[in-house]
A and B are shown apart, each in its own frame.
Chain A
Amino acid sequence: MSWISRETIPARPAPPVPSRGWSGTRVAGHLLMALWIVAGASLLYYLAENVMSDFVRNYWEKYLDGIVVTLQLVGLSMVAGAALSLLVALARASRNPFVSGIAYAYVYFFRGTPLLAQTFLIYYGAGSFRPFLSDVGLWWFFRDAWYCAVFAFTLNTAAYQAEILRGAVRNVDKGQWEAAAALGLRKGITFWKVILPQALIVALRPYGNELILMIKGSAIVSLVTIFDLMGETRRAYSRTFDFQAYIWAAVLYLIVVETLRRIWDEIELRLTRHLRRS
């Protein structure tokens, strides 16, 4: 067995790490990052400089009120929209072509037209039916910009949420229905106890996106005289012509949206922990 070597080959030194060098992309990336850092630093400097200004002293409470109004509007219409979306989704799945056709038209209309136009249609358009609405006793509802905005947002988000729900329910495996039927569960109970919980987990991410879109979309209610965060901003700007009104609004919106996104990610992580293998 002389061909077997008696001693092992000594370990070789590890090859040198190739230097990454300053390629074009790396230079571009560092330049862009430097640009962002400069922009962020100057923004922070600008905000710090103005945090004691008259503008902030006069308006910071208004801005907080505005955030509360925005969150109230979005929260209310999201919850009401969720309830309505269940009906719409059920109607779309109906075998009756008339019912499913109406639900389809509803969803198509509210997804195909701008939210701003819908809000105008409800808030201003209700004026065309004033005698009728007064007779029915609903004029107090449509006279008020706040109710109209909540109504428009509810109808709008219900259409989107119905689509989310429909997609999620269809995503649940057919075997789940069959297994529940084999266990002797009625269709309604199967839907509530077996299908919906699984569907909602799939729907978590789109629901989060819808929430963010609603927060952002809610800025348009400032155009129908509601003083949400955007409305307060516009009022402050029109009184002072101080551009920091918009800068503060941008910062606040980013904070609200990012916070909600983080919270939603946490919720999702928590609710799907049984699906992960660690």
Chain B
Amino acid sequence: MTDILTLISFGPDGWGDEIARGVLVTVALALSSLPFGLVLGFLVALAKNSGEPSLRSAANIYTTIFRGLPELLTLFLVYYGVQMLLNEVARLFVPGATVNVNSFVAGMVALSLVFSSYASEAFLSAFRGIKQGQYEGGYALGLSRPQTMRLVILPQLIRLALPALGNLWLILLKETALVSAIGLDDLLRWAGIAARVTKEPFLFFGGACLIYLMLAMISSIGLSRIETWTRRGEASR
């Protein structure tokens, strides 16, 4: 039996550097899906919160679809579907052309879609927690609607939505594991390759689990920091 320390070391015999690269891909994927998911989720929440019924139902259809589909299926739909669509389009211009969709981009799109539909719910319940008087106060001060949203509502909204968004971030981090199914070299895929080559599956999958756990812990620490930061105005009370 090979020494475990050699297996997880960095270098030609160990898998440490490959795993580390996988961790980077996992974190990069989660971090790059986050802004798109947040912005899209905020827009969907705005639509759900508007007085216009058609806009509300359009937003509700969106969340029903992406909250009802399994994340893995969404990923495959985006990965294969977009690829097919792009191929069809490309063949219109260049006959016989093929387009390959980057699995990182496909993962990013799918994860952003799923994240945004859940985030919209978080934002919506935060919207419900802000009293009408806050808007009225903003208008009474002569602020325009966008200004009221940006200067008065949004700071409170972030504070109210942050706990739910923090949970969603942890879920997003875990969901990145699915992209190993479409061949992106993330943490779980490297762990799988290492497990197959070295015949030590428990070591590598267990290690992968522990790394995910570590990422979750680091995130929780960061999130609680952000939470105290958003509550800095309340501290003196």
Chain A positions near chain B (C-beta within 8 angstroms): 23, 25-26, 28-30, 32-33, 35-36, 108-109, 112-118, 120-121, 124-129, 215-220, 222-223, 230, 233-234, 237, 243, 246, 249-250, 253-254, 257-258
Contact = CB atoms under 8 A, between A and B. Distances in A.
A120 B205 contact: yes
Contacts of A237: 80
A258 B68 contact: yes
Nearest to A261: B68
Interface string B49-80: 01111111111010011001111110011001
A220 B201 contact: no
24 contacts: A25-B50, A29-B53, A29-B55, A36-B58, A113-B209, A114-B176, A114-B178, A116-B177, A116-B180, A117-B177, A121-B205, A124-B201, A127-B199, A128-B201, A128-B203, A216-B68, A219-B70, A220-B181, A230-B72, A234-B76, A246-B73, A246-B77, A250-B69, A253-B70
Contact of A108 (B174, B191, B213): B213
Contacts of A230: 70, 72-73
Interface of B: 47, 50-59, 61, 64-65, 68-73, 76-77, 80-81, 84, 170, 174-178, 180-181, 188, 191-192, 195, 199-203, 205-206, 208-209, 212-213, 216-217
A243 B84 contact: yes
Contacts of B213: 108-109, 112-113
Given A109-B213, A114-B175, A125-B206, A243 B80 contact: yes
B73 A250 contact: yes
A113 B64 CA distance: 26
A249 B73 CA distance: 8
Contact of B68 (A116, A233, A249, A253): A253
B54 A33 contact: yes
A94 B86 CA distance: 58
A125 B202 contact: yes
Nearest to A30: B54
Given A26-B52, A30-B54, 14 more contacts: A25-B50, A29-B47, A29-B54, A29-B56, A32-B54, A112-B216, A113-B209, A113-B212, A117-B208, A124-B205, A125-B202, A219-B72, A246-B76, A253-B70
A250 B125 CA distance: 28
Given A113-B174, A116-B178, A117-B177, A128 B202 contact: yes
A271 B54 CA distance: 33
Contact of B69 (A112, A128, A253): A253
Given A129-B202, A246-B80, A114 B73 contact: no
